Amino acid sequence: MMNGVSASAAGPSSGSGDRSNSKRPKYSRFTQQELPACKPILTPLWVISLFTLVGIIFIPIGLASLLASNDVVEIVDRYETACVPPSMINDNVGYIQNPAISKACARVLKVPKDMDKPIYVYYQLDNFYQNHRRYVKSRNDKQLRDASKAYETSGCDPEKTTVDGTPIVPCGLIAWSLFNDTYSFTHGNGESLIVNKKDISWKSDRDHKFGSDVYPKNFQNGSLIGGGKLDSKKPLSKQEDLIVWMRTAALPTFRKLYGRIEVDLKENDIITVMLENNYNTYSFGGKKKLVLSTTTWLGGKNDFLGIAYLSVGGLCFFLATAFTVLYLVTPRKLGDPSFLSWNINSGIQ
């Protein structure tokens, strides 16, 4: 009896103590997710209709994307092996590192279809890992933007200063490895095709990342030359080949814009390309390709987007058909939605 009295007497006080020490938040409909909400029930009709709608939308987009991609006319010419002299075919590295050997090379291209202007000229590199962590970090953005920060070379190892400690502008491996093959084009009738190299870089890069008062200093003056040289009389914001190159690629195979040919080319036209095969890709087994391409409303040639849309749309149509057949062959009676938990709770309130 005493135990019962003691327990009943202690009950209220211990309960109030538990409530005062509890970390449970104050009750509200928001924290308990009891606010009015749309809670759809996925009936067979809804599921079949949704898959069918996605298929109806995605398949036309996929077809339009593939048609646009097929309208792009591309000429791709791999030249790094063809431009090696026969006597040096077994010593590619010796050929590219010997300044006494001419790097001039002529290539002949045939236009497969009419190419409407502008025709974009790209260089493509394979097996070049611009996304390597140490390579990507080897630059100093403050130095590139501001002439007063020329001595800011942190992060530019191993190309930060000369032997006597003078800072290199622009410093870092990205700038040091600047692509330096050059191309000139001649039409079959002997007319020279001018390559417009203006505005080939992003405007935001020219205006905000590369200073108009920053000029190259001590660039490629060391004993080991990595790539192209820069004009010391032009600010970095005007050296668009460098700006394009320093926007690093995410994949080991990439294309970068070299310029634009702003005349139309007709089917079966012959284009002679005189190029300087200066860039060393032989040391790491890389490949070099010259690409001429037109564009459409979707951009350059890219079948992946169209195939992806068609695949998703086709899969949705297949699932819609499968669910329809399954529903017709073995129909299943739906449960009463009024017995769902949220409907019961709303009825009680």
pLDDT tens profile 74-91: 999 999 999 999 888 888
pLDDT of res. 337: 67
CA nearest 273: which of 287, 256, 259, 253?
259
Strand partners, 196: 260
Q: Kindly report the number of other CB atoms within 10 A of residue 86's CB atom.
A: 6
Instruction: Report residues of the chain scoring pLDDT below 50.
Output: 1-16
Per-residue pLDDT tens digits for 193-250: 999 999 999 999 999 999 999 999 989 887 778 889 999 899 999 999 999 999 999 9
Task: In whole angstroms, give the CA distance from residue 239 to residue 174.
Answer: 15
Task: In whole angstroms, give the CA distance from residue 56 to residue 54.
Answer: 5
CA nearest 185: which of 109, 123, 76, 82?
109
